[in-house]
Chain A
């Protein structure tokens, strides 16, 4: 169940989801870019202009906050609100995934296509 105050931030875009996920621990912008690319298996590529704008917007809406610097880089981390938004988003993904799992027809089709047992 979505907590009060997080609804207006949901659903997150894929890019924002990976940015917040990466900022559960303190990180600077370029580390966020690399992590998003890696953990999304290359499906989410963040260009610097896009990331800069996203970080600024997330900071304005208080989902992340600056916690320090690394040379000229700003280091950010999620706030408690940001954490809660992330949890609520993950909960939504769980529901979405469960719905897919229950569609056995779709699931077996994927299994055959991928040629592996999921």
Chain B
């Protein structure tokens, strides 16, 4: 089987960029088959096709997963993979209408709200952990590095939350 494995990283607020990239890959005949490691996209080589990719984020309980995937399948969406809470769907584009997984603004904003609250849960843990990590004797000479690492992680988290917040307010104000 002709496969292509590609590493590419998208941040939590770049889902639309990622969707567009996957659509471009499909136009070139590379169809997402699965996701291996985080950031590892495995493509199957085939005929170039016009597909739309959409990423959903629900934070589903295990017992709700089946009915969720089934609803998307019934509506014509193929479930291609999962990564860190994100669910990847694909739909064939027929004609000029682009299929969407959200049909109104409110529910689309809801998706970003869920991503944001998912990140916010970890924020206090990191704030509590950060000074401790930099302080533990056990880590010896690595203390500085660990402290720096957790500080950058905290910065990244805060940045992600700000970006998601901006995404939501753009939806609210401009509807796109």
Taking a contact as CB atoms closer than 8 A, the residue among B77, B100, B107 that contacts A53 in the complex is B107
**A49-B106 Cα distance, complex, nearest whole Å:** 11
B59-77 vs A, CB cutoff 8 Å, 1 = contact: the mask equals 0000000111111101101
Give the CA-CA distance A69 to B64 in the complex, in Å. 12
A47 touches B71 (CB 8 A): no
Residues 30-63 of B, flagged 1 when their CB comes within 8 A of A and 0 if not, give: 0000000000000000000000001010100000
Q: Chain A residues with Cβ under 8 A from B56's Cβ?
A: 49
A45 close to B103 (CB less than 8 A): yes
Q: Is the CB of B74 within 8 A of A53?
A: no
Q: Which of A30-72 contact B (CB under 8 A)?
A: 30, 33, 45-54, 69, 71-72
The majority secondary structure among interface residues of chain A is helix
A30 near B67 with CB under 8 A, answer: no
Residues of A within 8 A of B108 (CB): 50
Which residue of chain A is the closest to B67 with respect to CB atoms? A74
- What is the 8 Å Cβ interface bit string for chain A, positions 78-115, against chain B (1 contact, 0 not)? 00000000000000000000000000000000000000
Residue of B nearest to A69 (CB): B67
Query: 15 extra interchain contacts, Cβ-Cβ under 8 A, other than A47-B100, A73-B70?
Result: A13-B106, A29-B67, A29-B71, A29-B74, A33-B74, A47-B75, A47-B99, A48-B74, A48-B77, A49-B54, A49-B56, A50-B108, A52-B71, A73-B71, A73-B74
A residues with CB within 8 A of B: 13, 15, 29-30, 33, 45-54, 69, 71-74
13 contacts between A and B (CB under 8 A): A15-B103, A29-B74, A47-B99, A48-B71, A48-B75, A49-B56, A49-B102, A50-B101, A53-B110, A71-B70, A73-B67, A73-B74, A74-B67
